[in-house]
Amino acid sequence: MSTPPSARDEILARIRTSLGDRTSTVEIPRDYHRTGGSPVGSPELLELLTDRLVDYKATVHRATPADFAAVLASVLESAGRVVVPAGLPDGWAPPAAVVDDGSLSWAELDAVDTVLTSCTAAAAETGTIVLDGSPDQGRRAVTLIPDRHICVVRADQVVRGVPELLGRLDPRRPLTFISGPSATSDIELQRVEGVHGPRKLIVVLVSD
Q: Can you tell me the distance from the alpha carbon of 157 to that of 120, in angstroms, rounded to the nearest whole number?
A: 7
Q: Chain centroid to CA 119: how far?
A: 7
On whether residue 5 sits in a domain, the answer given is no
Q: Between 32 and 148, name the one with better pLDDT.
A: 148
Whether 140 shows a pLDDT value over 70: the answer reads yes
Cβ atoms of 178 and 201 within 8 Å: the answer is yes
Q: What is the CATH number of the domain that holds 81?
A: 3.40.50.10420
pLDDT 10s digits, 6-21: 999 999 999 888 888 7
Check residue 184 and give its pLDDT: 80
The percentage of the chain sitting over the pLDDT mark of 70, rounded to a whole number, equals 99
For residue 165, what pLDDT band results from cuts at 50, 70 and 90?
very high
Check residue 81 and give its pLDDT: 97
pLDDT 10s digits, 55-75: 999 999 999 999 999 999 999
Burial of 96: CB neighbours in 10 Å, binned 0-12, 13-18, 19+: exposed
Backbone φ and ψ for 112, nearest 5 degrees, come out as -95, 160
On whether residue 24 sits in a domain, the answer given is no
Q: What is the mean pLDDT of residues 24-52?
A: 88
On whether residue 1 sits in a domain, the answer given is no
On whether residue 42 sits in a domain, the answer given is yes
Whether 154 shows a pLDDT value over 90: the answer reads yes
On whether residue 120 sits in a domain, the answer given is yes
Check residue 27 and give its pLDDT: 85
**DSSP bridge partners of 98:** 83
On whether residue 22 sits in a domain, the answer given is no
On whether residue 136 sits in a domain, the answer given is yes
Number of domains, the chain: 1
- 39 is in which domain, residue-wise? 33-206
For residue 1, what pLDDT band results from cuts at 50, 70 and 90?
low
